[in-house]
Amino acid sequence: DGGITQSPKYLFRKEGQNVTLSCEQNLNHDAMYWYRQDPGQGLRLIYYSQIVNDFQKGDIAEGYSVSREKKESFPLTVTSAQKNPTAFYLCASSMPRQGSNQPQHFGDGTRLSIL
């Protein structure tokens, strides 16, 4: 079955450490997204990518970095510059970029906590 796989499901970060969250999709979607979910705040967009080797900052990109070397993969690195990284991180993908009205498909998330 096609879908989006996020790993790991739970992740712990030590002070000063960078950690990378994995997101892989086999839906052949061009666009991929990273969101952060905090209680009572809904989802906030961190980064998005509409095509390989291109990505754009979302609303809360500071302290995060991404890469898009392959269509299927869009890893997110939470750097030590992100002072409040504890949250639930969701990856999503969708069909062709411009003008699309297709829904986004979501993975099952990674919960990141500070040790």
**Contacts with other proteins, residue ranges (CB under 8 A):** 4, 6, 31, 33, 40-43, 45, 48, 50, 56, 58, 90, 92, 94, 97-101, 103-109, 111
Q: How far is the CB of 90 from other proteins (least distance, A)?
A: 6
Q: How far is the CB of 15 from other proteins (least distance, A)?
A: 26
Give phi and psi for 30, each to the nearest 5: -75, -40
**Cβ distance to other proteins smaller for residue 18 or 56:** 56
CA-nearest of 31, 30, 23 to 3 is 23
**Cβ distance to other proteins smaller for residue 8 or 18:** 8
H or E segment to which residue 78 belongs: strand 76-78
CA-nearest of 54, 84, 56, 83 to 68 is 54
Half-sphere exposure of 81 (CA within 13 A, CB side): 7
Q: How far is the CB of 75 from other proteins (least distance, A)?
A: 17
**Cβ distance to other proteins smaller for residue 13 or 97:** 97
Question: What is the CB neighbour count within 10 angstroms for residue 85?
Answer: 20
**Cβ distance to other proteins smaller for residue 5 or 20:** 5
